[in-house]
Copies of this chain bind each other. A is one copy, B any other.
Amino acid sequence: MAEGPLSFAVEARDAHTMARAGTLSTKRGDIETPVYMPVGTQGALRNLSPAQVVEAGTQIILANTYHLALRPGESLIAKAGGIHTFSGYTLPILTDSGGFQVFSLPKAQVGPDGVTFRYEVDGRAVFLSPERSIEIQEALGADIAMVFDECIPYPCPHQRALEALERTTAWEERCKIHHRRADQALFGIVQGGVFPDLRKRSAREIVALDFDGYAIGGLSVGEGRQILSDVLDVTVPELPEDRPRYLMGVGLPEDLFEAVERGVDMFDCVIPTRHARGGIVYTFQGRLRIQNARYRRDMYPVDTTCGCYTCRLFSRAYLRHLYLIRESLGSTLAAIHNLHFFHELMRRMRQAIMDGTFREYKRAFLRTYLKQSPS
């Protein structure tokens, strides 16, 4: 691995849980784990400039293959010199495979070769396969590419989950064979729905293919925190100690603690930016809905203990004003704060792991956070 596009080292392990603190090294910089990856769906984080994203403490971002391949198209991005140059980011970037988006479309047709679907914007028919996904991701030039997997809905019967698992293993092998860029890491994805036997089997098959890292897919789709935790309990122990583990699409602070406690290193979710657009801001004392009338004359920052750009300069009353006049700067400032919050949360978890106090920190955080200052 040290010779490859990525290396991963576990720096510390919590004595009482499976939580671990690590460093993921890429040619674009080191990433301290556990890490939260904000999502720049179409080559931009909504309402944020790259400078603002970096200033908020972001170490790596995610971009969506599905969206970028369709608009503006990966050949244009390749012509620009890749996704980093095109979108103005010098941070490491991970691209998903497009699978999750494609399988979310109502009329996707799945065959052994791949998936045919209609692009929601202009209705044209598009085909996506393991080979095509890898081809696109190599053109985009992300630091970490993801295999193309079959995503199933929740709930999903055992038989259907099994078929998808088998197809996923076959597809991931094709991804691995087709992947050529030596400067790009490739992560496998474990599927298997909510079934312990299938998760174990999928993990073993995927690990046997030998990827640079392992993602756990198909969760955070409505199954709830208990099932999420149960699936992690059976899946993570199947994954090698020396590779990074990535829980896709998670998430909320409560879920992050459960997953970090079970040994997951990487996360991505749209909520810091999406919730910002809705006026929801995260603090260590709970979430606030900034449009609420109670903040009309509130001259405190969103979080009095926060050091982000938004909290250094602006009051809740000013943010509320921006939402009322529908000024996008409101979403920008809330997103800056939310990104900072999630990065700071991961940093504190990491420190607790180093200090051997992860469980205590989790308890203390949740006690304050779930008290929910009335928003």
**A interface residue numbers (CB < 8 A to B):** 42-52, 71-72, 76, 79-80, 86-88, 296-297, 299, 309, 313-315, 317-318, 321-322, 324-325, 327-329, 331-333
A321, B50: Cβ atoms under 8 Å? no
B309, A49: Cβ atoms under 8 Å? yes
Known A-B contacts A309-B51, A313-B88, A318-B88; the reply to A299 vs B80 at CB < 8 A is: yes
B71, A325: Cβ atoms under 8 Å? yes
Q: Give the one of A86, A322, A327 with max B CB within 10 A.
A: A327
Question: What is the minimal beta-carbon distance from A47 to any residue of chain B, in angstroms?
Answer: 5
Question: What is the minimal beta-carbon distance from A276 to any residue of chain B, in angstroms?
Answer: 12
**Beyond A42-B327, A47-B329, A76-B296: 14 further Cβ-contacts under 8 Å?**
A46-B328, A47-B327, A47-B328, A71-B321, A72-B317, A72-B324, A76-B297, A80-B299, A86-B315, A86-B317, A86-B318, A88-B314, A88-B318, A328-B332
> What are the residues of chain B within 8 A of A327 when measuring CB–CB?
42, 44, 46-47
Question: What is the minimal beta-carbon distance from A94 to any residue of chain B, in angstroms?
Answer: 20
A314 to B86, CA, bound (A): 7
A47 to B328, CA, bound (A): 5
> What are the residues of chain B within 8 A of A45 when measuring CB–CB?
329
A329 to B52, CA, bound (A): 11
Known A-B contacts A49-B332, A329-B48, A329-B49; the reply to A43 vs B318 at CB < 8 A is: yes
A44, B329: Cβ atoms under 8 Å? yes
> What are the residues of chain B within 8 A of A43 when measuring CB–CB?
318, 321
A322 to B79, CA, bound (A): 17
A72, B314: Cβ atoms under 8 Å? no
> Which residue of chain B has the shortest Cβ distance to A331 in the bound complex?
B328
A108 to B33, CA, bound (A): 61
Instruction: Please name 12 pairs of A and B residues whose Cβ atoms are closer than 8 Å in the assembled complex, sorted by A.
Output: A44-B325, A44-B327, A46-B329, A49-B329, A49-B332, A51-B309, A71-B321, A79-B299, A80-B315, A86-B317, A88-B314, A328-B332
